[in-house]
Structure 1
Amino acid sequence: MAKTLIIAEKPSVAQDLARALGKIPKKGDHFENDEYVIASAVGHVVELEMPEDIDKKKYGFWRLETLPIIPEKFGLKPIADSKDRYNQLKKLLNRKDVDAVINACDAGREGELIFQNLYQLAKSKLPVKRAWMQTMTTEGIKEAFRNLRDGEQMAGLADAARSRSESDWLIGINGTRAITKRMFGSRGGNVASVGRVQTPTLAIVFNRELEIRNFKPRDYWRVTAKFEIEKGTYEGVYQRPNFKKDANEEHDRIDRVWEKEKAEAALAACQGQPRAAVSEEKKSSSQASPRLYDLTTLQREANGRFGLSAKRTLQIAQALYERHKVITYPRTDSRALPEDYVATCKETLGKLGGDLGKHGRTVLEKGWVRPNKRIFNNAQISDHFAIIPTGTEPTHLDEMESKVYDMIARRFVAAFFPAAEFDITTRISRVAKAHDFKTEGKVLTAPGWLAVYGKTTVDDSADAKALPALTSADNAQARTISAELHSETTKPPPRYTEASLLSAMERAGKLVDDEEMAEAMKERGLGTPATRADTIDGLINQKYLERQQRELVPTTKAESLLQFLSAVHADALTKPDMTGEWEFKLRQMEHGKFARRDFMSEIVEVTKRMVDRTKNFEEDESNSRVTDIISPTDGQPMVETLRGYKSQDGILMIYKVMSGRKIEEAEVRELIEKNEIGPLDGFVSAKTGNRFPSKVKIVEDEKNPGRKKAELDFGNKVDLHTLDPFWTDPKTGAELCEAPTSYVLRERDGDGWKETFKV
C-alpha cells in the first residue's frame, strides 16, 4: 500500500504530528503506519555551496582578482553536522512505497526553504502538498491536514525563499571578501563581514552614534510657579507667548526659553505673590486598547519590560507555540485576525482561566466580540495572523514563559474591551497680564480595557493629575505663592536599545509613532520578524555592536567598516531604504507579483557595482589627512587614511584597528616616539571573543622586506628552531610543535623554519 511521507522541521514537531494524526508508532528515526511516514529535519540540513566548493583552486584563497563570484547556478550540499539526517530523509524520499510528500515545515519563508533545498538536492520527483499550521494543538494540526495546499500554490513563497538565500550569498560573500581584502590586505584573522540586512542595520545604529558625538548641547530655561485657590494648590509651567516652532531647532518647545533674560522676566513677574487670572478648558478623551501582538511588537515590549533580547523572546514564543501549544504561530508580522475568526475568539475567551478568565467572561457576557476592522481584517494578513492564545491551559511554564504568555493573553482579552475614558483639564494661569503658566489634569473616568491591567475608576496611574477644582469663591483667580527658575540643557538622542532598533528595522530606519503609517511601512522593513533577532545577535557576535546595559553601542570595528563603505559609495550596503525595497519585492514575489529573475538580476548588478567600486577605490585627499606625527622612515608628516597612518615613503603603516581595538592618534604618536607602547587593554581574540592586553611594537614586515609595520607583542616570541615536533604532516612535512604558551605549525623555509599557524 502506497504511503505519504510527511517532513517536519524538527523532531518535536514530528512527534506532535504523529500524535495528532492517529498515534502513529515510532519506527527507528521516524514514525510510520499504513498511511503515513513522518520524519523530520533538524532545521536546515542543506545549504548553498561555498566558493571553495565550486572551485577550490580559484576561490580557496581570498583574492580581489577572482571577484565578483557569480555562479551561473547555485549548487547545494548537505550541512556537515546534519549529513546523516539528510541521508535518512533522502532515503525516505526514494522509498518505493512512498508516492507523495507533505511539507510540514514551519509555515513561512525559512520553513519553505528548508524543505525545498532538501527536495531539490535529493532530486525527488514526488508530488508535493503543503501543511500550513497556525497552531500546534491537536485540532490545529488536524485542521491543517484537512486543508492541505497544492505544491504549486507555494511557488511564490519558494521563489522568495531561494531569492533571499541567494541574494544574501551574493552580497555577503562578495562584499565580505572584497572589503576585507581592501581594508586589511593579507592581515590574517581580520574579517570585515557584510550582509544585505546586517550592514544597513549596523548603519542605523552607527548614524545615531554620530548624531550623539556631533550633538552640540544648548542651554535653555524653564519657569515653574505654584498657585493657590480655595480647594488647594497646583503647579504651572511657563509658556512662551505667540509660540511658533523653529524649523531649525528640533528641540524647540513652548515651555523652553532660550534667552535667560526672558525667563528671568517671567520669574520676576511672579514675585510678591501676585494674583493670576485663571481660565480652563475641559474635554473628554478616550484611549483605545493596543492592537494584538505581532512578533516585532512582542519583542520590543518584552525588551522594555523584562530586558529580554529579541532572540530570547523569540525562543520563548517558539516554546509557547511548539512545546506548550498555548499560543498561535509567533513568527508573524500581522496584528489582525481573519474576519471569520469571531467564533474562534469567543471559544478561546471562554477557555481562559484565572484572572483573565474573569475578564474573558465579561467580554462574552457584554457581547463585545463582533466584527471590527481593527481586530478582524483580512487585508492586513499575509500568511499568518496576530499572536493570540489558543485556549489550551498553560501548565509547567517557567517564570519568563509565564510572563510572555501573560503579555499575549492579556493583550488578546484587552483588545475586545471598550476604550478607556478620561477627563482632561487644561488650565492657564496668567500672571501680570502677560505670562501664561499651563497646568494639565488627567483623570480616568471609565477604565475600559485598562481594567484587564488592574486599573480602576480611581486613577492610580503614574501620570494621573487631579487638579483642585475652581469654585465661585475663587472668582477665576489664583494667588501666585512661589516660582522657580530651572536651568537645563538639551540632550542628544538616546542610543538604540533592542526595542527601538527592532522598530527602526521594521520601518527601514524611519522611526514613526503613527500606527497606521507604521503598518503601511512594514512591507519595506529590514529583514522579517523571524530574522531580525538573529541579525542583531549576529552583529553582537561579530563584535560590530556591544551591549552596555540595555543600550547597543557600535564598536571601532563597525566605525572602520562604515567609514570605508561610505568612501567607496557602497550605497547598497549602507542605505536601509534600499534593503527595505528589496524586502518589499520579496514579499511581492511570495504572492506572484514580482519575478524572481528580475530580482536576482538586480542583485547581481548591485553586487558587480559594489565589487568594482571596492576594487578600484583609490584613497585621495578627500579621505586622507596630513598629521603632525613625523615618520621615522622619511622625516615627513604621516598621512591618516581610512585604514591607518602611513609614511609618505610607503615604508611604514600603522593600522587604525588591530585585533578589534582602535589605535588612537595619541597612541600612534607615542608609538612613533618610543617604538613600542603598552600594554594596552581592549584587544579582542578573533577565536574566543575574549579581551586581552598587549604591547604594540614597530617591527620589520617579514612578508614585505624593506617595510615596517606595527604588531602586537605578547613578550613570548618563539624561536622555531628550538621546538620539538610531536606530529609531522606526511604530505607536506609541516611539523606541529608545542611552545610555552601555544601550539605552532612550522614549515621549511629555505634553511630555516617559518610559522604557518599558531593556536
Structure 2
Amino acid sequence: MSKKLIITEKPSVATDLARALGGFTRHEDYYENDDYVLASAIGHLLELACPEEYEVKRGKWSFAHLPVIPPHFALQPITKTEPRLKLLVRLIKRKDVASLVNACDAGREGELIFNYIVQHAASRKPVERLWLQSMTPQAIRDGFLRLRRGSEMQGLADAALCRSESDWLVGINGTRAMTAFNSKTGGFHLTTVGRVQTPTLALMVEREDRIRKFKPRTYWELEAAFACAAGEYHGKWFDEKFAGKDDDEHARADRLWDEEKARSLQQKCRGQEGEVSEEAKPSTQISPLLYDLTSLQREANSRFGFSAKATLALAQALYEKHKVLTYPRTESRALPEDYLQTVISTLGMLTGEGLGKGHDEAALVRYAPFAQQILDRRWVVPNKRVFNNAKVSDHFAIIPTLQAPRHLSEPETKLYDMVVKRFLAVFFPPAEYLITTRITRVLDEPFKTEGKVLVNAGWLAVYGREAQAGDEGNLVAVQPGERVLATDVLLAAQRTKPPPRYSEATLLSAMEGAGKSMDDEELRAAMAGRGLGTPATRAQIIENLLSEQYLHREGRELMPTAKAFSLMTLLNGLGIPELTAPELTGEWEWKLARMERGELSRDEFMKEIATMTQDIVARAKSYDSDTIPGDFGELAARCPKCDGRIKETYKRFQCQSCDYGLWKIVAGRQFEAAEIEELLSRRKIGPLSGFRNKMGRPFNAVVQLNDEHAPEFDFGQSSASGDGSADEVDFSLSESLGACPKCGARVFEHGLSYVCEKSVGAARNCDFRSGTIILQQTIDHAQMKKLLSSGRTDLLRDFVSARTRRKFAAFLVRAADGKVGFEFEPRPAKGATRKTTAKAPAE
C-alpha cells in the first residue's frame, strides 16, 4: 500500500499534525500510520555553496577571480543537522512512499526549505502543498482535505530560490570585491557587504554623521508659578501662533531663541495677575497590538536591556523547551479568525483552574483575576484588530499556549510576563482619561498647564501601578472668574540635542520601517510590512555587524566604527548605491512579488542580478585606493619630510612629492583632516578619545610625531629609572593654569592629566591630578583655570556615564580637600523648588 510522506519545518509542527490526524505510531524521529509517513526538518538543513571549481581560498581573493557567477548553485548540508537530512532522504526514497506533502511553514522560507531537501534527494515524486495559517486541530484536518497541487506553488518556489541565490551572488561578489580592493596595498582586510547588512549599516553611519556635525543652539523656556485660592500650579509660556511648519526641526511652541525677548517676557509677567480658562476633554487609549518578534525584541531591549539576539533565544526556549509560547519568528501581530476558542481555552489555563500539580502557581496568580474577568464579561469576540486572516502571514502573533509555565529562569519569566500581559490587555476595554488644558493669560501672554486624570484603567489594570506611574493627578482647582498671581517666572536656558544614537530597540524599528519614505510608490508598497530583513534575521544581522567590527556596543547604544565609515566612503565613491540604500530590497521585493503571481520569470530576474553583480565588481576594479572620489581636500600643513603638498585620499593623508603619508584609521579611530593639520603643525595632538585596543576596549591618548615623523601614542607616563625615582619634568615652557588647591604650587597640563608641579619628579610631595578627559568630556584649559580659581567650571554637557553609557550634564567642582567632583545641573522641581545633588568624585 502506497503512502504519502509529510515533511514539516519543525518537530513541534510534526507533533501537532500527528495529534490532529490521529492513528500514528511514533518511531525515533518520525511518525507513521496506514496512510502517511510524517517527519520534520529542523529549519534549514541545506545552504548554498560555491561550486568547487569556483571556490578560491581566502588568502587568494583578488579581482582575477571575480565576478563569481556559476552556471548552477551547489547545495551543502548544514553540519549540525546533517543526520536529520539523511533521515528525510531515506524516507523520500522509500519504495512505499509514492508522493510528498510539503507541510513546511506557509511562506517563501518554508517553500525554500522543502524544495532544497527535494533537490538534494534528487526526487521526482509528485508534490502536494499543505497551506495553514492556523494550527488548531480542525484547521489542520481541513487543510488536508484541500491540499494544493505542487504546480500551483511554482511562482512562490521560484521567488524563494531567486531571493536565496541573489543574496548569495551579491554577498559573495560584493564581499570579495571590497576585500580585494582594501587588500591591494598588502595584508588581508576582510570587508563584508550584504543586501540587508550594508543598508542597515548605512542608516547608522548617516545618524552618527549627523551627531558629529551637530552644533547645539541655546534656547530659553519660561515657566511661571501661579498662586490661587486653592494652592499653586505651574504653566509654561508658549507661542499661540506657532504652526509647526517651521523648517527648523528644533522649533517648538514653548521655545524662545532670543534671550533678550525671553528676559523681557520674564520681567513683564513676574508679579502680575492672570486670567484663567480651561477645557476638559475625555480621551481613550486602546491597548497595544499583540507582539510580533520585532516589537517583542524592541520592548525587551528598552525595558530590560536584552539584545535582539538574547530575546530571540529566550523566546525560542519558551517555545521549544517550555512550550509556553507560540512560534516566535513571526512578523504578524494578529491571530487567525478561527482562533477564538483557542484563546478562550488559553485564558482558562491562565486562571489556573483545572491544572494539575507542577505548574508555577505563583506565576499564574497575578494573571488569574484578569483572565477570569475577560471570560466572565465575554470580551473575546470576533474583532478584526485581533482576529484577522488578512494580517496573518506565515505565522500569527506571539501568545501564550495552553501549557502552564514551570521552572522558568528569571529572564524567561520576564519575557513570558511581557507576552501574557500583552495577550490579556488586548481583550480589555480602552483606558479612559480626562485631559484638562488650562491657559493662563498674563498681560496677554499665554501659559499652558495640562493635567491628565485616569478615569477608568481599562487595559492598564493588567499592568498595575507600573503603567500608571506617569499619569499626572488633578490640577489645583481655580474658580470661575478667579484671578491668579504669577508669583515667580523661572527662565531656563536649554540646548538643542543631536539625534540619539541607535539602540537595538530603535535600530530594529528603523530596519522595520526602512523604505517607507521612498518616492517610488510601487517600491514603497513592496517594502510595506517588510523593511530591511525579516523578524527572524534582524537580530543576526546586528550581531554580524558587531562581530565584523562595523559596530561597537556601548551600554545600550550601538556606535558605528571607523571601519563602517570607511566602507560607506568606499561604496559611495565607487558609485554603488545598490549596496547602501534600502531601494535594492524594495525593488527585489516588488519583483519577487510579481514572480509569485507569475508576472516575471525566474530567468529574467536572475539575469538582472548577474548584470548588477558584474557592474559592482567592474566599478571596484576601475579605481585605486587613492582615486576613490570623496569629500577630500588638500591640507594647509606641509609634508614634514620634503615640504610637499599633502592631500587626503580614501585611506591616507598622502604627500604628493614623496612617499610620506599618514593612515586615516589608527587603533580603530579615524582621524579628521583638521586633526592631522594640528598634528603636522604642532607635532602633537590630544589627548584624543575613541581609540580601541586589540581587545576592543576604548582608550585615550596623546598622538605625537617622533624623530622619523611617524605618529606614536604618548600616554603621559613618566619613565622610571632603575632606583624607582621618576624623571624630572621641565615645565619652564608650559603655561601655568593656576594654583594647586592642595599645596598652592602651580598646575600644568602633563600628558593626559592636569597635575601639580610637585606631584611629578623624584621629590614629589603632592598628589593633585585631574584628567584632561573625564568620562569622554574634554576639559580644556579655560575650564581648568575656572576650576582652580573659582572652584567650579561652567556646566559641561558631554559627560558619558560609565555604567549606563548615557550623556549627562554637570559642573566640575573643587572640594575643600582639593579633590575634584561632580555637581549636577539644578532642575526646577514640581513645586518650584530647586535642588542640587550631592557632590560625587570625578577622578
AA in 2 matched with 1:626: E
> Structure 1: how far apart are the matches of 2:368 and 2:40?
37
- Residue 444 (1) aligns with residue 454 (2): yes
Q: Out of 513, 521, 527, which is 2:533 matched to?
A: 527
The 3 A distance-change label for structure 1 pair 4 and 690 is farther
How far has the Cα of 1:82 moved from its partner?
5.2
Q: Out of 462, 469, 477, which is 1:469 matched to?
A: 477
> Structure 2: how far apart are the matches of 1:135 and 1:465?
45
The 3 A distance-change label for structure 1 pair 58 and 532 is closer
Tell me the residue number matched to 1:331: 329
Structure 1 unaligned residues grouped into runs of 5+: 513-517, 699-707, 713-759
Are the equivalent residues in 1 in contact too, given 2:219–2:259 (CA < 8 A)? yes
CA deviation digits over 1:458-510, x for unaligned, max 9?
Answer: x95313231012225xx332122222110000000111111111111111165
- Residue 293 (1) aligns with residue 304 (2): no
The 3 A distance-change label for structure 1 pair 358 and 681 is closer
> Structure 2: how far apart are the matches of 1:224 and 1:565?
50
Tell me the residue number matched to 1:610: 616
Tell me the residue number matched to 1:729: none
The 3 A distance-change label for structure 1 pair 664 and 157 is same
Tell me the residue number matched to 1:206: 205
How far has the Cα of 1:245 moved from its partner?
3.5
How far has the Cα of 1:649 moved from its partner?
5.0
CA deviation digits over 1:65-96, x for unaligned, max 9?
Answer: 44322223323233456555544443332232
The 3 A distance-change label for structure 1 pair 612 and 620 is closer
Tell me the residue number matched to 1:752: none
Are the equivalent residues in 2 in contact too, given 1:135–1:325 (CA < 8 A)? no
Are the equivalent residues in 1 in contact too, given 2:45–2:85 (CA < 8 A)? yes
Are the equivalent residues in 2 in contact too, given 1:504–1:510 (CA < 8 A)? no
The 3 A distance-change label for structure 1 pair 420 and 88 is closer
Are the equivalent residues in 1 in contact too, given 2:573–2:628 (CA < 8 A)? no
Q: Out of 375, 391, 402, which is 1:391 matched to?
A: 402
- Residue 113 (1) aligns with residue 112 (2): yes
Are the equivalent residues in 1 in contact too, given 2:134–2:339 (CA < 8 A)? no
Q: Out of 419, 423, 429, which is 2:440 matched to?
A: 429
> Structure 2: how far apart are the matches of 1:581 and 1:167?
13
- Residue 494 (1) aligns with residue 495 (2): no
Are the equivalent residues in 2 in contact too, given 1:58–1:66 (CA < 8 A)? no
More RCO (CA 8 Å, sep 6+): 1
CA deviation digits over 1:413-461, x for unaligned, max 9?
Answer: 21122111111111011112x21110001101111111222259xx953
Tell me the residue number matched to 2:738: none
Q: SS at the partner of 2:60?
A: coil
Tell me the residue number matched to 1:68: 67
- Identity score, percent: 49
The 3 A distance-change label for structure 1 pair 519 and 577 is closer
Tell me the residue number matched to 2:47: 47
Tell me the residue number matched to 1:229: 228
Q: Out of 545, 548, 559, which is 2:551 matched to?
A: 545
AA in 2 matched with 1:452: V
Are the equivalent residues in 1 in contact too, given 2:516–2:528 (CA < 8 A)? no
Equivalences for residues 633-712 of structure 1 within 5 A: 635-649=643-657, 651=659, 654-657=662-665, 660=668, 662=670
Instruction: Note the aligned Cα RMSD (angstroms).
Output: 4.0
> Structure 2: how far apart are the matches of 1:331 and 1:535?
15
AA in 1 matched with 2:438: R
How far has the Cα of 1:408 moved from its partner?
1.8
> Structure 2: how far apart are the matches of 1:167 and 1:12?
31
The 3 A distance-change label for structure 1 pair 446 and 96 is same
Tell me the residue number matched to 2:249: 250
CA deviation digits over 1:125-167, x for unaligned, max 9?
Answer: 2233445566788888777767755434443433232122111
Tell me the residue number matched to 2:635: 627
Q: SS at the partner of 2:634?
A: strand
- Residue 310 (1) aligns with residue 296 (2): no
> Structure 2: how far apart are the matches of 1:576 and 1:164?
15
> Structure 2: how far apart are the matches of 1:550 and 1:444?
32
Are the equivalent residues in 2 in contact too, given 1:277–1:430 (CA < 8 A)? yes
The 3 A distance-change label for structure 1 pair 633 and 487 is closer
> Structure 1: how far apart are the matches of 2:712 and 2:118?
50
The 3 A distance-change label for structure 1 pair 252 and 695 is closer
> Structure 2: how far apart are the matches of 1:135 and 1:291?
19
How far has the Cα of 1:115 moved from its partner?
2.5
Are the equivalent residues in 2 in contact too, given 1:359–1:452 (CA < 8 A)? yes
How far has the Cα of 1:31 moved from its partner?
5.6
Q: SS at the partner of 1:532?
A: helix
> Structure 2: how far apart are the matches of 1:112 and 1:689?
41
Tell me the residue number matched to 1:748: none
The range that moved more, 498-507 or 376-385, is 376-385
AA in 1 matched with 2:112: L
How far has the Cα of 1:549 moved from its partner?
0.7
Q: SS at the partner of 1:533?
A: helix
Q: Out of 415, 418, 426, which is 1:415 matched to?
A: 426
Q: TM (normalized to structure 2)? A: 0.73
Are the equivalent residues in 2 in contact too, given 1:18–1:31 (CA < 8 A)? yes
The range that moved more, 3-12 or 380-389, is 3-12
Equivalences for residues 50-199 of structure 1 within 5 A: 50=50, 53-56=52-55, 61-79=60-78, 83=82, 85-130=84-129, 150-185=149-184, 187-199=186-198
AA in 2 matched with 1:250: E
> Structure 1: how far apart are the matches of 2:442 and 2:526?
47
How far has the Cα of 1:709 moved from its partner?
11
Q: Out of 338, 341, 346, which is 1:340 matched to?
A: 338
> Structure 1: how far apart are the matches of 2:296 and 2:541?
17
CA deviation digits over 1:519-548, x for unaligned, max 9?
Answer: 996335111111111111111111111111
The 3 A distance-change label for structure 1 pair 695 and 482 is closer
Tell me the residue number matched to 1:26: 27
The 3 A distance-change label for structure 1 pair 609 and 542 is same
CA deviation digits over 1:607-633, x for unaligned, max 9?
Answer: 233222222236277553223555577
> Structure 1: how far apart are the matches of 2:421 and 2:604?
44
- Residue 366 (1) aligns with residue 372 (2): no
The range that moved more, 422-431 or 395-404, is 395-404
> Structure 2: how far apart are the matches of 1:32 and 1:696?
72
How far has the Cα of 1:182 moved from its partner?
2.0
How far has the Cα of 1:292 moved from its partner?
1.6
> Structure 2: how far apart are the matches of 1:543 and 1:411?
36
Tell me the residue number matched to 2:568: 562
AA in 2 matched with 1:49: A
How far has the Cα of 1:39 moved from its partner?
4.7
Are the equivalent residues in 2 in contact too, given 1:204–1:576 (CA < 8 A)? no
AA in 1 matched with 2:512: E
Tell me the residue number matched to 2:745: none
CA deviation digits over 1:5-42, x for unaligned, max 9?
Answer: 44454667667777776563435x65666655555545
Are the equivalent residues in 1 in contact too, given 2:642–2:657 (CA < 8 A)? yes
AA in 2 matched with 1:224: E
AA in 1 matched with 2:534: T
Instruction: State how many pairs are aligned.
Output: 688
